[in-house]
Structure 1
Amino acid sequence: MTIDKPLTETASLFDLSQKVIVVTGATGILGESFCRSIGEAGGTVVAVGRNEAVGSNRVAELRQSGIEALFAPADVLQQADLDRVCEQTLDTYGRIDGLVNAAGGNVAEAVIGPDADLFSVSLDALRRAFDLNLYGTILPTLTFGRHLVKQGGSVVNISSMAAQSAITRVLGYSMAKAAVDNFTRWMAVESAHRYGDKLRVNAIAPGFFVTNQNRHLLTNPDGSYTARGEAVIRSTPYRRFGQPDELAGALVWLLSDASRFVNGEVICVDGGFHVFSGV
């Protein structure tokens, strides 16, 4: 099936109905929200993830809602997997218009606990954190980007508050996400020099959202906040955690033609966390 709908003069700038968007990390909590947000804006979703059971169920739910979606099992650190997804997407839809690099997360061994020896950091764990978060962003960008520049497209990377300022304990994750920010800006400039306005590369830096990975760090089994969760709330002017669908506006904007002159930006969606001094 080929997506080939002419863009009318009255079409909304935020309409994604002509666009095929690849979403890595689609089997996570934020990834699920990203896929649904893209679909509700009219986009076609190619959901990429390692968990085939979750991914297949997720795509089935999207289709039941009238959203065109395809699940493509893949590990973002395996080039052969990415090449297969790319080929499958082009064979099915004939084009790729956007990429959301949502694959990532923390590596437990790269977290420095309050009682751990600060000078005995596991370098292997740090490398794994970089592989997942940085190279798990770079490899899909290089794989799908060459197709995005053919008709023009957008890459949206997922950064973090940990790249904005020092957040205790999460050393590997923090450094990797800071590198994602740098890659976002570098790729935005370098691609513009080579391809003009054919490729936009931006990032979203979410504030604190409760996911499967951080739930036990931020909340207790009874739903109350842990000490770390309370610290986050105190540092967030909105005094709450974010809801996954609150990332939808920034995501759809960056994928749509409404942001066609936006390049190299890291958009914070954080309830004011990164601008609050604590006073």
Structure 2
Amino acid sequence: MGKVIVLTGAGGVLCSTLAIALAKQGHKIAVLDLRKEAADVVADQINISGGTAIGVKANVLEKDSLIQAKNEVNKVFGSCDILINGAGGNHPLGTTSNPFLTEEDLNNTVEGFKTFFDLDPEGIQFVFNLNFIGTLLPTQIFAKDMVGKKGCSILNISSMNAFTPLTKIPAYSGAKAAVSNFTQWLAVHFSKVGIRVNALAPGFFLTEQNRTLLTNEDGSLTQRGQQIIDQTPMGRYGKPEDLISSTLYLCDEASSFVTGVVLPIDGGFAAYSGV
């Protein structure tokens, strides 16, 4: 019998792919996204293909919004069995212009140029809130449905830069490190009530958020994009489909003794020293 699976940020490329794959396994899918129209597109695609899904508007940073979303899911599908915390992202105000600080940078007056000393606290806070609080709050709301039930689990989305921070994005790297740490903490905390908690740590996947950073208009790689490929032993970016098998495994009873794991899916990026 299919489970009730709630995915946040599921209007995006990666989590919509997971939603569709899970629906094919016979699960009932609640597609949550800040943009209701994006959630509906994914839900409609699932329903047209013979699956069962609803699109639900939800702001992962607002508890009342999540409570309303939970009520809607419970009314249509019943209580939540599996939660996938997919909402997240970066912000330009938490990003430096250069990977390394030089003395000359301190005198750079080009509009928009940012050193570490220019990083905007509000931008950094936005990134931390979206990734960490945006994981914690949905868990507070939906995990209550899981307490005492069998076969329930939570899957967070961390990042390979939680293991080794990338240049230029201190806020995002730190926020994803917090997600990884929280995953382990929560796995221990929920261990006596039958809820497993794990995380995926994707490497570089081309999404709408990073496409302009990694590729040029003609599809060729930017300098940073080429650096990434050179540092990835498998020599390519990840495809959304690369996340499916690990997600199915961690959400299934086949992994019933697996909790507190942060699984890299990065083509070997985190393992490679560059030499």
Q: TM-score range by the shorter chain?
A: over 0.9
| Structural RMSD (CA) | 1.1
Deviation digits for residues 74-128 of structure 1 (CA, Å, limit 9, x no counterpart): 1111111111111111121222110000000011110111152222321111111
Aligned to 1:149: 147
Partners of 2:165 and 2:58 lie apart in 1 by 32
Partners of 1:79 and 1:219 lie apart in 2 by 37
Partner residue of 1:199 out of 195, 199, 207: 195
1:70 aligns with 2:51: no
Aligned to 1:165: 164
Partners of 2:114 and 2:94 lie apart in 1 by 11
1:274 aligns with 2:270: yes
Partners of 1:170 and 1:42 lie apart in 2 by 39
Deviation digits for residues 149-194 of structure 1 (CA, Å, limit 9, x no counterpart): 23131100000111110201111111100000010000101111x4
Aligned to 2:108: none
Residue identity opposite 2:187 in structure 1: A
Partners of 2:40 and 2:79 lie apart in 1 by 22
Aligned to 1:15: none
Alignment of 1:1-279 (within 5 A): 5=1, 18-114=2-98, 116-152=114-150, 153-192=152-191, 194-195=192-193, 198-279=194-275
Partners of 2:210 and 2:118 lie apart in 1 by 24
Aligned to 2:106: none
Partners of 2:145 and 2:178 lie apart in 1 by 24
Residue identity opposite 2:256 in structure 1: R
**Structure 1 residue 232, shift from structure 2 partner:** 0.4
Unaligned 5+ segments in structure 1 are: 6-17
TM-score, structure 2 normalization: 0.92
SS of the equivalent of 2:118 reads coil
Are 2:4 and 2:78, in contact at CA under 8 Å, matched by a contact in 1?
A: no
SS of the equivalent of 1:47 reads strand
Residue identity opposite 1:201 in structure 2: V
Deviation digits for residues 209-237 of structure 1 (CA, Å, limit 9, x no counterpart): 00000000111111110000000000000
The number of equivalent residue pairs is: 260
**Structure 1 residue 56, shift from structure 2 partner:** 1.2
SS of the equivalent of 1:119 reads helix
TM-score, structure 1 normalization: 0.91
- Write out the 4+ residue segments of structure 1 that deviate beyond 6 Å after TM superposition: none
